[in-house]
Amino acid sequence: MTGTALHPTSEEAIRAIRVSTVPGQRLVFVSGNFNILHPGHLRLLRFARECGDFLVVGILGGGSSGAYLAEELRLEGVQAIHWVDHAFVLRDEPTRFISALRPDLVVKGAEHEQGVNDETEVVAGYGGKLLFGSGDISFSSVDLMRQEFQEMNLTTIRKPKDYLARHGVGSERALDILERMKDLRVCVLGDTIVDEYITCDALGMSQEDPTIVVTPILQERFVGGAGIVAAHARSLGKQVHFLSVLGRDDTAGFVRESMEAFHIDFHGFEDDSRPTTLKQRFRATQKTLLRVSHLRQHDIPVAIRDRILADVKAVLGDVDLLLFADFNYGCLPQSLIQGIQTACNKRGVLMAADSQSSSQMGDVSRFKGMKLVTPTEREARLALQDFDSGLVVLADKLRAKSRAENVVITLGAEGVLIQAGLDEAKKWPTDRLPALNLAPKDPAGAGDSFLTCAAMGLAVGADIWEASYLGSVAAACQVGRLGNVPLTHVELAREVLH
């Protein structure tokens, strides 16, 4: 039935599949290396399983190009995914196995659709179908959530032991990197945001209309946006120059007072055409009921751009790292970014950037030649106008377009996907880190803390794997509390040693 040309493991797999299935079930086949199982793999496998009734996955043998982990470890990882019905090590050419198994569907990632696919002729020969897809963009990993229920932790932050072992990241090395950060001089540019939390008592429903009635009992303000990036950098480093735009209002006064308290060299440029960006969150019973944003999104006037560029050039001789914290509210028009990038390149100042697009539109790829960019998946897809490719292909495309050395795509509760620069990619071109905090209280500020800590790590000689780990620890600490508060060495060191 299977032919004498197949490897014994393939023969055994086909026999096991025939025993496990019944007539009428639609067989689906996927093959690949599956080195590090990241959310992109999970999406693909879920998509494949939803296309049929029985999913077979062939893990390419150890001799396959691009296989970094031992085949038994890769197989074990895929077998743990509940969408997979049968997984085995495939030591034949996939087309030969497909010809013998004759699955109803063969599924490949969407990025392969425009390329040459050897499976096309084989599948068409017996009446099957070749499908391309990478799964839904909005994806929640059931397997990761199940793992959270199964594990018991003394703290809500867990260590990624397998990741640390793969990259040889030890506590002593991580602490050394944190210690060296204390001498860093950083310049931060971007939109200042003030986050206001208004805690309320819920009084009940209005008798006039179906509205919840609350009364405010506590009001707290925190500096956010690029302001908290500057505060993190100052708390972890030696000196920070922070350049931003404010309105002429009481909120601006709060920002100036906070920067003075943080011991930050603040260059705040007043723009009469906008308020200081204020985001209010009305909360009751530990839940957010309503968000109100007071802001403008137009570009700052040319005169202010020129003053910012002049001030940046004046401080660059005293800077080791420059961070763009772009929230797309107009503080960083393209002409200003290009002028700053040129000045930094002339002085050899390392740069990193994040460009956030939550309710607004942005393009992180406009920051060229960065040591690190850290977009969310949505931000990366917007920058590339690519809503089909898998995550690894997406990261690689973004790195090429932006000429960034390293790309880290942040995935919220699913952690981060890391695409390393060429110097770091000899063995591990791509890896993932799960979210380290299993019980986050407030997701606001996770990306800012990751960018700051990871970029500072790179600036003192950490590789991308070490820097991403420390960035993830910083994000885990940040989401474990309500409101933006600057990170400290003590907090990070405690979690590294835990």
Is residue 149 pLDDT above 80, yes or no? no
Segment 52-57 shows an average pLDDT of 96
Is residue 170 pLDDT above 60, yes or no? yes
Distance between CA atoms of residues 192 and 229, nearest Å:
10
**What pLDDT was estimated at residue 237?**
97
For CA atoms 336, 338, 342, 344, the dihedral sign is: positive
Condensed to tens digits (0 to 9), the pLDDT of residues 426-443 reads: 566 889 999 998 878 777
Is residue 4 pLDDT above 80, yes or no? no
Segment 294-322 shows an average pLDDT of 96
**In the structure, what pLDDT confidence band is assigned to residue 360 with cuts at 50, 70 and 90?**
low
**What pLDDT was estimated at residue 427?**
61
Segment 441-466 shows an average pLDDT of 92
**In the structure, what pLDDT confidence band is assigned to residue 244 with cuts at 50, 70 and 90?**
very high
**What pLDDT was estimated at residue 345?**
96
**Which range, of 146-160, 252-266, 305-319, averages the lowest pLDDT?**
146-160
Please give the mean pLDDT across all residues of the chain.
89
**What pLDDT was estimated at residue 144?**
41
**What pLDDT was estimated at residue 26?**
96
Distance between CA atoms of residues 246 and 74, nearest Å:
52
Is residue 163 pLDDT above 80, yes or no? yes
Contact 386, 401 (CB under 8 A): no
Is residue 374 pLDDT above 60, yes or no? yes
Is residue 266 pLDDT above 60, yes or no? yes
Is residue 325 pLDDT above 70, yes or no? yes
**In the structure, what pLDDT confidence band is assigned to residue 152 with cuts at 50, 70 and 90?**
very low
Tokens representing 390 are 């898998």
**In the structure, what pLDDT confidence band is assigned to residue 455 with cuts at 50, 70 and 90?**
very high
Is residue 445 pLDDT above 90, yes or no? no
Segment 409-422 shows an average pLDDT of 89
pTM equals 0.79
Nearest to 240 by CA among 257, 203, 265, 221: 265
Q: Which residues have C-beta within 8 Å of that of residue 254, sequence separation ≥ 6?
A: 194, 221, 223
Is residue 217 pLDDT above 50, yes or no? yes
Beta bridge partners, 469, equal: none
Is residue 359 pLDDT above 90, yes or no? no
Choose the most confident range, by mean pLDDT, from 227-236, 361-370, 480-489: 227-236
For the chain, domains (ranges, CATH) are 8-146 (3.40.50.620), 151-497 (3.40.1190.20)
Distance between CA atoms of residues 449 and 446, nearest Å:
5
Segment 487-494 shows an average pLDDT of 90
Q: Centre a 10 Å sphere on the Cβ of residue 316 and count the other Cβ atoms it contains.
A: 18
**In the structure, what pLDDT confidence band is assigned to residue 388 with cuts at 50, 70 and 90?**
confident
Residues in the chain, overall count: 498
Segment 199-224 shows an average pLDDT of 85
Distance between CA atoms of residues 35 and 73, nearest Å:
9
Is residue 19 pLDDT above 70, yes or no? yes
Segment 276-301 shows an average pLDDT of 90
Percentage of the chain lying above the pLDDT 90 cut:
66
Convert the chain into a string of H (helix), E (strand) and C (coil): CCCCCCCHHHHHHHHHHHHHCCCCCCEEEEEECCCCCCHHHHHHHHHHHHHCCEEEEEEECCCCCCCCCCHHHHHHHHHCCCCCCEEEEECCCHHHHHHHHCCCEEEECHHHCCCCCCHHHHHHHCCCEEEECCCCCCCCCHHHHHHHHHCCCCCCECCCHHHHHHHCCCHHHHHHHHHHHCCCEEEEEECEEEEEEEEEEEEEECCCCCCEEEEEEEEEEEEEEHHHHHHHHHHHCCEEEEEEEECCCHHHHHHHHHHHHCCCEEEEEECCCCCCEEEEEEEECCEEEEEEEECCCCCCCHHHHHHHHHHHHHHHHHCCEEEEEECCCCCCCHHHHHHHHHHHHHHCCEEEEEECCCCCCCCHHHCCCCCEECCEHHHHHHHHCCCCCCHHHHHHHHHHHHCCCEEEEECHHHCEEEECCHHHCCCCCEEEECCCECCCCCCCCHHHHHHHHHHHHHHCCCCHHHHHHHHHHHHHHHHCCCCCCCCCHHHHHHHHHC
**What pLDDT was estimated at residue 453?**
97
Segment 133-155 shows an average pLDDT of 45
Segment 389-417 shows an average pLDDT of 92
**In the structure, what pLDDT confidence band is assigned to residue 143 with cuts at 50, 70 and 90?**
very low
